[in-house]
Structures are given as C-alpha cells and as structure tokens.
Structure 1
C-alpha cells in the first residue's frame, strides 16, 4: 500500500500503529535514501561473519524485510529471530515470512527486557534513534554483552551534523529527496511534527563513541548519505 499516513492533519505523535504498519514498506523505500543499498551492505557484511546455525537477531524488526533477505542470500541455514514491540508490524512480518517460505521466530517484546544472548549478529535498523539517550546507552551495552566473541552489531541510524550550517543543508537536501519521492510539503511537515521529540538522532561521532563506550573494539561507518548512516561494530 502507498504511504498516505500524513495526508491528513496529525492528532498524535508518531507511533508504529496499524496505520503506519499497513504502509511501512512503502514508507521505508520513499523516506530513507538508498535503503536497499544499506540493507544489501548489512546482509553482505553480516554473512562474512556467520556460519551455519548462528543466531541472528533483528531488534525492531518491523515487517522482517531484512531477515527475509538475509535468509534468501545465506548459503546455509541460520537461526533468525526478530523482536519488535508493535504487534501490527509483527502481523505483517508473519504474513511476509510465510509468503517467502522463510522461518523466522518473531517476538513481541520490549528490547530492554528481551533475551538475545549467544548472538553472532545483531541488527538494528533505524531503531536506536527512537530510544531515549540514557536507555539507548544501556541497550547498546546489553547488545554488547549478548554477542559472542567476534560477534558483530550492524545498525542504521538517521544522523545529524555537529555543524549548524551543514545541519541546515542536511535538512534541505533530505527535504528535496522526499519531494522527489512524491511527498507533498504538507505531508513532510506533518511527519516532521509527529516525530518531534520521538526520533532523537545522534551525530556520527556520538554513535561511534556510544558503541566504543559499551566495550566494542571497533566501529566503522559502512555507508553514509547526508543524514543517514550504516555502522558496523565488532566485539573482540
């Protein structure tokens, strides 16, 4: 379905409810530049560290697109687990997994309370940015503790610039991108308002420092387009 969530005047803050879940795949492809490329990098780099039967968790898995693609491209079976606190998202994830014949364990749980021990790969695509800073740092530490030795954490985030001039240019460039995807000025402004104080992005440097502070030995940017970035972190 086509994303028309913000064609009407908003009455609440952004949340991953039924309205959003029903159009989420379209929303992703039209709202995140190079989304498919970042997903491809996540899968390709992830597979280089994996072996048969390894556990892979996707935190905030939404409709399970990344896990489905990972399964399709993996030359060996993996134990795939998706965790999300939106039942509306998981309902669509279950239907997609069934349609593609992919076995994924889908859990409706709070990321702070869920168990994802013994993971070899943990994925988090545009999820940390929705978690309050203090809780975000605790979650990253939990991710580190849950990974096996030589495990990896691959995550995508919206980022901001520490420079005010560049920050304004980031916003302008992204605004033009969304207009090219067919979103109206009204839709763009409505979504921006709905996300106010809900999505809290860090700078690229702040994301890396948070990762290293949690104990990871290395964190690197795999891909970046203006204010969207994909990171890989390694636990030694």
Structure 2
C-alpha cells in the first residue's frame, strides 16, 4: 500500500500503529535514501560472520523484511528472531514471513524485556533513535554483553551534524529527496512535527563513542548518505 499517512493533519505524535504498519514498507523505501542498498550491504557483511544455526536478533524488526532477505541469501540455516513492541508490525511480519516461507520467531515485546542470549548477530535498523538516550546506552550495553565473542552488531540510524550550517544542509537535502519520492511539502512538515521529541538522533561520532564506551573493540561506518548511516561493530 502507498504511504498517505501524513496527507491529513496530524492529531498525535508518531507511533507505529496499524495505520503506519499497513504502509510501512512503502514508507521506508520512499523515506530512507538508498534503503535497499543499506539492506543489501547489511546482509552481505552479516553473512561473512554467520555459520550454521547461529542466532540472529533483529531489534525493532517492523515487518521482518531484513530477516526475510537474510534468510533468502544465507546458505546456512539460521535461528532468526524478530522483536518489535508494535503489535501491528508483528502481525504484518508474521503474514509476510509465512508468505515467503521463512521460519522466524516473532516477539511482540519491549526490547528491554528480552534476553539476547548466545547472539552471533544483532541488527537494529532505525530503532535506537526512538529510544531515550539513557535507556539507549543501557540497551547497547546489554547488546554487547549478550553477543558471543566474534559477534557483530549492525545498526542504521538517522544522524545529525555537530555543525549547524551543515546540519541545515542535511535537512534541506533530505527534504528534496522526499519530494522526488512524491511526498508533498505538507506531508513532509506533518511528519517532521509528529516525530518531534520522538526521534532523537545522535551525530555519527556520538554513535561510535556510545558503541566503543560499552566495550566493542571496533566500530565504523559501513554506509552513509547525508543524514542516514549504517554502522558495524565487532566484539572480539
């Protein structure tokens, strides 16, 4: 379905409800520049680390697109687990996984309530940015503690610039991208207002510092387009 969520005046802050879940795949593809390329790189790099029966968690899995693609491209059987606190998203994910014939354990719960035991790979695509900073760092520490040695954490985030001039240019460039995807200025403004104080982005440097501070041995940017970035972190 086509994303038309913000064609009408907003009445509440952004949330991943049934209305958003029903158009989420279209929203991602039209709202996140090079989303498919980011997903492709995530899967390709992840597969270099994964072996038979390795456990993979996707935090904020939404409609399970990344786990489905990972399964399709893996030559090994993987233990796939998707977690999302949106019941609407999990319901969509279950239907999609069934349609593609992919075995995924899908859990509707808060990320803090899950124990990511024996994880070889943990994914988080545009999820941490919706978690308050203090809780975000606690979750990243939990991710580190539960990863096996040689495990990896791949995550994507919207980022800001510490330079005000560049940050304004980031925003302008992103809005121009959204216009090319068919979104009107009204829709763009409505979504920005709905996300105010809901999505709290870090700079690229702050994301890396957070990762290294909890104990990861290495973190670098795998992909970046203006204010969207994908990072890979390794636990030795």
**Correspondences of 1:50-129 after superposition (within 5 Å):** 50-129=50-129
**Counterpart in the other structure of 1:225:** 225
The aligned residue for residue 28 of structure 1 is 28
Measure the CA separation in 1 of the matches of 2:113 and 2:98: 27
- Tell me if 1:193 matches 2:209: no
Distance 1:214 1:117 in 2: 17
Partner of 1:182: 182
1:213 aligns with 2:213: yes
TM-score normalised by L of structure 2: 1.00
Secondary structure, counterpart of 2:80 in structure 1: strand
Alignment of 1:100-179 (within 5 A): 100-179=100-179
Deviation at residue 76 of structure 1 after TM alignment: 1.0
Partner Cα separation in structure 2 for residue 156 and residue 41 of structure 1: 11
**Aligned pairs, number:** 236
CA distance in 1 between counterparts of 2:76 and 2:125 reads 23
SS in 1 for 2:122: strand
Partners in 2 of 1:117 and 1:144 — Cα distance?
Answer: 11
Moved over 4 A (4+): none
Cα distance in 1 between the residues matched to 2:217 and 2:115: 23
Q: Secondary structure at the match of 1:112?
A: helix
TM-score (norm 1): 1.00
Describe the superposition over 1:132-164 as per-residue Cα deviations: whole angstroms up to 9, x where unpaired.
000000000000001000100000000000101
Give deviations 1:159-182, integer Å, cap 9, x for gaps: 000101100000000000000000
Query: How much has 1:50 moved relative to structure 2?
Result: 0.5
Give unmatched runs, 5+ long, in structure 2: none
